Each structure stands twice: as structure tokens, then as C-alpha cells.
Copies of this chain bind each other. A is one copy, B any other.
């Protein structure tokens, strides 16, 4: 009989799991359930369309539903799975039952709601679905002042982009600087400057106490007074969307993410989970973490798919290279910086340096600031934070890869480097 694979979720994890399982083993019958009308677009691009750095939302679509169907996938669009029965190996959607041999849960995340009065008012917006974003973009044309709540990566991108659009942006966060729970202050500083140049008013060290208004938000009440606004964009933490899986009897870990093994398997045979709904171990601390990136979700979905298709594929603990553009300034890194190392009591030695992205006399050359954290004694890399212009992403990807393989600061100090004035500098 044809083996049936059901995938719940049309984000990075679910899409990867469905498409790659089918590609690796064409005999599978693969169905993908998603509550949304669309698939295969880049939600990460949404802030940049709002900011008018990307012309059109349509640019964010990478493929069409028809294309997936043509590739042999059974696409269940706008179809919410309401129940998983792990004993009978059945899911329920639209009051119909569907049996499965193997299942992938890729239900993703929802944004944390502020736990203050007024959080249910109209005018509080959450960035996620592209159709809502299209509607929201029209609303942005009608407003002048926007509060961005939460200096998370999304918050930084939204604040910078709405400033670029010419809106009056108040960027509110309880922490003393952007991404303060993980980022080092010296790395945050140039991002602050770049955001301010875009007209963003920074309201850090400021606690949100309520959203004010009758039906619709008209101000944010904070520890530092009222901030009038026409709307508020909430960019707090990602919360794993695990209720469906928990109701089915699967377990969550300390982070609230579903527990899977290194093959993306839950405790039930043939049932996998991947993406923002799960937790995975950090390569340095081996502590479970969650709320990673689209590329992590995709790779986890791909791992599940490979194992479903009969390969034996292990997903390594994550070293998490990360990077983002705040205003016009690029920051990045991997694993931990000084702030997090200190908070976690992880001992480290620090190596710092400032280089240039091209020969210093070449047009476009930008300073590249590098902070490397290493294990005392062995000098093995355990983390980094970088900031500057071009080349930050590539360096962070590189550092995360070599840290995983045990590279030391000495290895980096003596590594071969390209020197060519337009693309790389000797000093």
C-alpha cells in the first residue's frame, strides 16, 4: 500500500519536510495541511516591503501552490488540523479524518501577546501572514505615528523600515538596548545610531504598562509616560504553537517547545516535529533552545524528510549563526556574546579586532568589528559578535561552522586570507 505522510504546517519546516520527502521517495503520498491560502513566500521579507526597500509583496513569493501540486504534493490549503490521534494514527481537519503512516508537525509559533491591559484593542498588529501584511500596508498609508513594541530582531527590522518609510516611529523596549538579552552593548550602539538616522525615537529602559484607547489603540502607557500612537506593532518573543501536539499527548521541554531527538523524532514512532514548534540543543551549552530562524526550520524539516524517506540523518546541535540589518548597519555573530556568557556564568577570553571589508582606500570599504569569545586555556571558539557593513553574514556563518569543528583563535589568527583591494584587505 502507498505510504502516507501528513505534514501539518506550511512554513519553512513543513514545506521542507513535504517537498523533500516526496523528492527523496517519490512513491510516498505526501499531504501538506496549512491554515493559510499561500505557501512558499518569505515572511522575513515583509518588514522590507513595508519599508519600501522591496517594491511589492508579490516579490516575496518564491513559488505557487500549483507548482507544488505539479510536483506531486497533495496540498490542503486553508485547512486547519484540529486534532491528532496518535493511537489511531489519524488527523482531523474540516471534520474529516485522514490516516497517516508518518506525520510531521511543523505548526510553528505565535507571537507572545503583551500581558498588560488593553492588549486586545484594535490597532495592535502582529507580523506574520502575508495577506494580513498587504492589508496592513494600506493602513500604514493612513497613519503617522507607530509604536514598535519589543526590540527583538523583528522589532529592529520593523522600526528601521517604518522609519525608512517616513513614519514617526517609537521603539519601546524594557531592556537598555536592542536585543539586550543576547546582544553586547557595543554592538547595539551603531544600530541605535542608524535607527535614529532613520527617524526612529528610541524608548529603551521603558516598560509597557497598558495600551490605551476605547476600541482602538491611541497611546501606549509606559513607565516613562504615555506615547501617543496610531497603531502598535508587537514584536515580542516567539511562542511555540504546540497546543495541538500537546493535546495529542506529545511532550514539551523546559522551553515550551516539543521534545524531539536528533532525528526530529518525537516519542511516537513515525511522528516527527520540526521548526519553531520544537526545541533543540545548543552546541556549546547543550541546553535546549527554540525560536530560531527560517533556515533552521528548513533544515529541521529536511532532516525529518530524509529520515522519513529511509535515510539516516542526524541534525546537529545548533551554533546559530545570526545576522540582521538594523537601520543601515549590519550585525551578526554566533552562539554567545559577552552579555550572554556573563549572564550564564560561562568563562571566556575575548579577542577583539577591527578590520576593513576591502582595502581601506577602496570605495565602499567599511570597518568590520569582530569580537571572538574563546574557552580559557584551549582557546576554542565559543561565540562571536560582529558588526559593520558588508561580509558580516558570511563571517558569522563561517565562524559558527568552524567553532563546531573545534577551531581556536590561534587557527583564525593564522588562517589564509584573500587580499585583493576591491574585495578584501590585508589590514
Contact = CB atoms under 8 A, between A and B. Distances in A.
A316 B411 CA distance: 11
A246 interface: no
Interface residues of A, number: 60
B362 A53 contact: yes
Interface stretch (A1-9, A40-48, A170-178, A373-381): A40-48
Residue of A320, A407, A420 with most partner-chain B CB within 10 A:
A420
A11 B321 CA distance: 37
Given A321-B417, A415-B397, A361 B423 contact: no
A395 B12 CA distance: 25
Interface string A376-415: 0000000000000011111111101110010100010011
Interface string A274-290: 00000000000000000
B398 A394 contact: yes
Given A398-B401, A405-B407, A420 B362 contact: no
Contacts of A426: 12, 42, 294-295, 298
Contact of A414 (B44, B54, B316): B316
A363 interface: yes
A423 B323 contact: yes
A293 interface: yes
A69 interface: no
Given A295-B426, A405-B405, A426-B42, A362 B54 contact: yes
Contact of A299 (B295, B318, B392, B414): B414
A46 to B, nearest CB: 9
A319 B359 CA distance: 22
Contacts of A411: 401
Interface in A198-213: none
B45 A361 contact: yes
A62 B427 contact: yes
User: How many chain copies does the complex carry?
Assistant: 2
Contacts of A420: 44, 323-325, 393
Contacts of A405: 402, 405, 407
A2 to B, nearest CB: 29
A294 B419 contact: yes
Contacts of A361: 42, 45, 54, 59-60
A322 interface: yes
Interface in A73-129: none
A39 to B, nearest CB: 14
A424 interface: yes
A395 B417 CA distance: 11
A81 B414 CA distance: 30
A337 interface: no
A62 B427 CA distance: 9
Nearest to A421: B45
A40 to B, nearest CB: 10
Contacts of A395: 394
Contacts of A417: 295, 321, 397
B419 A359 contact: no
Interface string A333-363: 0000000000000000000000000011111
Interface in A281-317: 293-296, 298-299, 316
A45 B359 contact: yes
A76 B332 CA distance: 44
B53 A363 contact: yes
A422 interface: yes
Contacts of A242: none
Contacts of A423: 323-325, 330, 332, 392-393
Contacts of A320: 416
Contacts of A42: 359, 361, 421, 426
Given A44-B421, A391-B394, 9 more contacts: A42-B361, A42-B426, A54-B361, A293-B419, A294-B426, A321-B418, A323-B418, A324-B420, A405-B405
> What are the 9 tightest A-B residue pairs by CB atom distance, in nearest-first order?
A394-B394, A59-B361, A295-B419, A398-B398, A393-B423, A325-B422, A323-B418, A393-B424, A393-B418
